[in-house]
């Protein structure tokens, strides 16, 4: 079969078949199909395919009933996901653990030292217990002011291992 040289009319044939054209465009495409053997054959082929493969039924009510209703996240859940709060909780956890360990070691007659941080002896876990409440509150306030900054480095794309060599992820 030869293709019709009028590409616009040929591409509108599926729209004609599915009744998606305005009245004037529909009349124009129909008159072209009546006069053009290639478009008439293409339209007949489209009708045959449509008749042999019925459109699947979509039960929109069943699909929408399966979607869980929207529930607004509580303020506590939102706060629990914030990284400054997580950092503050980690600082408090470390300070609390250091205090408990210090009290436990003092009651056992052991030296008043706790694990030292790997980076610097001045930043030991025991040193956090010696921070006055006012300084700890100031630290917590500063942690709340920290804002995330996006990386200035471009994202690195790692090629898939064992996949096909022809691009794609």
Asked if pLDDT for residue 149 goes beyond 90, the answer is no
One domain, residues 11 and 43? yes
Give dist(CA 3, CA 38) in Å, integer: 6
Show the CA angle centred on residue 99, arms to residues 98 and 101, nearest 5°.
Answer: 65
**Greatest extent of the chain over all pairs of C-alpha atoms, in Å:** 106
Alpha-helical runs (H) found in 13-82: 13-17, 23-35, 37-52, 60-65, 75-80
One domain, residues 84 and 133? yes
Total number of domains constituting the chain: 2
**The pLDDT of residue 140:** 79
Q: Is residue 163 in some structural domain? A: no
Give dist(CA 113, CA 106) in Å, integer: 9
Q: Which domain holds residue 16?
A: 7-52
Mean pLDDT of 43-54: 87
Where among 52, 68, 87 does a domain terminate? 52
**Per-residue pLDDT tens for 80-98?**
788 888 899 899 999 999 8
Asked if pLDDT for residue 2 goes beyond 70, the answer is no
The residue among 70 and 36 whose pLDDT is bigger is 36
Q: Is residue 61 in some structural domain? A: no
Q: What is the mean pLDDT of the chain?
A: 77
Q: Is residue 47 in some structural domain? A: yes
Q: Is residue 158 in some structural domain? A: no
One domain, residues 133 and 100? yes
Mean pLDDT of 64-71: 88
Tokens of 29: 């495409």
One domain, residues 34 and 88? no
One domain, residues 85 and 129? yes
**The pLDDT of residue 155:** 61
One domain, residues 36 and 88? no
One domain, residues 82 and 34? no
Q: Is residue 108 in some structural domain? A: yes
Confidence of residue 142 (pLDDT cuts 50, 70, 90): confident
Q: Is residue 129 in some structural domain? A: yes
Asked if pLDDT for residue 116 goes beyond 80, the answer is no
Instruction: Tell me if the pTM is above 0.95.
Output: no
Give residues with Cβ within 8 angstroms of 123, minimum separation 6.
Answer: 117
Q: Is residue 46 in some structural domain? A: yes
DSSP structure class, residue 67: S
Tokens of 139: 């630290």
**The pLDDT of residue 113:** 44
Q: Is residue 115 in some structural domain? A: yes
């Amino acid at each position: 079969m030869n293709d019709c040289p009028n590409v616009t009319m040929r591409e509108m044939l599926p729209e004609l078949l599915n009744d998606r054209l305005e009245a004037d465009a529909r009349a124009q495409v129909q008159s072209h199909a009546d006069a053009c053997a290639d478009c008439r054959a293409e339209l007949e082929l489209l009708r045959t395919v449509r008749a042999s493969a019925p459109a699947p039924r979509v039960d929109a009510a069943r699909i929408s009933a399966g979607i869980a209703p929207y529930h607004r996240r509580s303020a506590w859940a939102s706060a629990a996901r914030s990284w400054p709060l997580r950092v503050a909780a980690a600082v408090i956890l470390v300070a609390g653990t250091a205090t408990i360990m210090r009290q436990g070691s003092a009651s056992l007659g052991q030296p008043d030292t706790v694990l030292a941080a790997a980076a610097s002896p001045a930043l030991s876990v025991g040193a956090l217990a010696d921070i006055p409440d006012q300084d700890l509150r100031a630290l917590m306030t500063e942690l709340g002011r920290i804002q995330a900054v996006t990386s200035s480095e471009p994202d690195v794309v790692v090629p898939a291992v064992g996949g096909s060599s022809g691009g794609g992820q």
